[in-house]
Every structure is written in structure tokens, then in C-alpha cells.
Amino acid sequence: MGDIHIRIEGRAGRITLNRPKALNALSYEMCLAIDAALKSWAGDDRVALVLIDAEGEKAFCAGGDIAEMYDTGTRGDFTYGRRFWADEYRMNARLAEYSKPVVAFLQGFVMGGGVGVGCHASHRVVGETSQIAMPECGIGLVPDVGGSWILARAPGALGAYLGMTGARMGPGDAIRAGFADLYLPQAGWEEAKAALVSSGDVSVLTGGARPEAALATSAEVIDRAFGAATPADVVAALEADGSDFAQGALKSLRRNAPLSVACAHAMLRNLGREARIRDALAQEYRFTFRSMEHADFIEGIRAAIIDKDRSPRWRHARLEDVTAAEVGALLAPLGEEELSFEEDSQ
């Protein structure tokens, strides 16, 4: 079966991530395999819908497999990482724009690259263990794989809060923020999958009452602080707020890479609510294309994954030290290197 199991069952094209011991971390080869399957099934009358799931209880997919990016990047070779991101982003766009229903079952951790596979489906199912997040600012990146597109359309300033802090969402918050659609207790998932495979009809999906969206109780604080015009203003608003929630959010901001947090703030404001996913992916690629050479990605991976000392030495001591010019340089158009979508997504 390998790291990914792709097949046709009944009326469904099925994609199952199969690296449970690695929390189903998404490799470059897995990205290419998903994209190839989607292309193949777009015109295949046997396939009425696509069903994406994953083996294991802990995670649907906890992120991208970034070890090779680190190894090549530390040697000054940025080509591999740029190719991985470009092909992954094209796959993300294909999923979001797909002409047939795509159903994803999102158990456990769904982070980073897992959001790119699962949260662009047309029907996104969460259960009691689902924990969804975009934690990229903690490793010197920005919310990518089209995640910035979802964040930009979240209610109020919730997207800025989630993207800048990397906070995790349970199932209720994931639905409210636009990362999921349907809550279904996980004891009923296999029955639901069998019905989808048999019928090829997404109308067989029925869910239960949505769990509480815990972050909704802090919406006023989130909107006031994270709706601020600049990252420095966000910090000032949180510092002025004496609530435990605000102080926790401030602690998260201080822990993440200042340059990444500032860029994430700018990216969401650039996108707004009317952007297309391709707009988001193109902007994300401008940052990730430069991230190994001009941002904190290499250092973030060293601290989190390689040395595991959890003590990254960021380029800036504080978020307030990042200049608008630095943000603008990282998000500037890439000219001939701009992300392209050579083929129309199906």
C-alpha cells in the first residue's frame, strides 16, 4: 500500500493517507500522487465523488514532511523546497476547484499540509478528536497550502488570530472558522464512508449538532486586537487587555517568528474576503519561495525538528521590530518565478 493508497471503490475515488506512525505527514511523492489521481478521475464516469481519509487515530495529517527541505536548504539548495511548494499548491488549487464532490474525514491533528489536503474538500467532516491549526509561524513560515484563503474569510478577525498565533481549533471552532462543514461522531464514520462508496451521493452525509465553538466567547477581544491595522497595534491591544485570553494570545505571538507573524498579518489584509484560492496560493508562494534564504524557516526547523531545543534565534527580537519594508520585500511579486497554474484545475 505504501504511504498513500489510491483506488476506485464503488462510485468513489478513494485516497487514504497511510503513514500513521509519522502522523501521516505529507511527502512530495504523496502530493504528486494525489494530484495525478484527481486529474485521472476528473473525466472518469465511474467516479462520482472523491473520498479522502487517513489511517490511524492520532492524525489525518499533521503537516508536510519537511526534513528534505531542511537538508537541501542548509546546503544552499532552495530548488527542492520551491518545487515541492509549487506542486503542492497546484494540488491544493485542484482540490478546491474540483468539478466533483470531495469528502474528507478529518480526525485528530489536521495541520499545515493536512489542511491543504483536507480542508479544501467540498464536504469536510470533523469528529470529537479533530484538532485543526495553521501553526506555520512557529517554524518561520506563514499559513500556506491555501490556508490563508480560508483564514481571510473567517468571521471578524478570527483568521488573523488563528494565523498569527497558530491556535488549535476543536470541531466547533473549525466549522465556525470555515475549515470544516459537518460534525459527525467518529463511531459513525465507517458507515458514512460505506454509504458514500455505495451511492456516490453526498446527500447521504448527515451530521449531529455542532459542538460549542469555544473561541466565539472571545470574539470581542479577537476582533478588537487582531483587527488592528499593524502587527504593533495588535501587540498594543493585547497588552492593554488584561484578560487571560489576551495574555495567552500575546504569549503565542511572542513565541512565533516575528517576521512570519508580520507577513501573515499583511497577507490576510491583502487578500480580503473576495479573493480566489489562486490569489492566496500565489501570495503564499512569494513568501515560501524566499523563506529559506530571507526568512526564518531554516532556523525554525532546526529548533523544532532537528535539535529540538525549542529555542529558535529569530531574525527579530520582537514583532514590533519588523518593518513594513521587510514584509513588502518578502511578499513582492516574483516576476518570472511567480507561481503558475499551467493547467486549468478540474
Please list the active-site residues: 64, 113, 136, 144
β-bridge pairing 12-17 and 49-54: parallel
For residues 268 and 152, the answer to whether their CB atoms sit within 8 Å is yes
Distance CA 91, CA 341 (A): 10
| Local structure of 13: helix, strand or coil | strand
Q: Which three cell numbers stand for residue 154?
A: 473567517
Distance CA 252, CA 91 (A): 30
The position carrying cell 452525509 is 205
Distance CA 46, CA 39 (A): 14
130 CB-near residues (< 8 Å, 6+ apart): 60, 106, 107, 108, 110, 170, 171, 174, 180
| Local structure of 125: helix, strand or coil | strand
Distance CA 246, CA 88 (A): 35
Closest CA to 172 of 160, 180, 164: 180
In sequence order, which ranges of 213-255 are alpha helices (DSSP H)? 219-226, 231-240, 244-255
Distance CA 219, CA 127 (A): 23
Distance CA 251, CA 249 (A): 5
Beta bridge partners of 132: 110, 169
Distance CA 205, CA 288 (A): 37
CA-based radius of gyration for the chain: 19
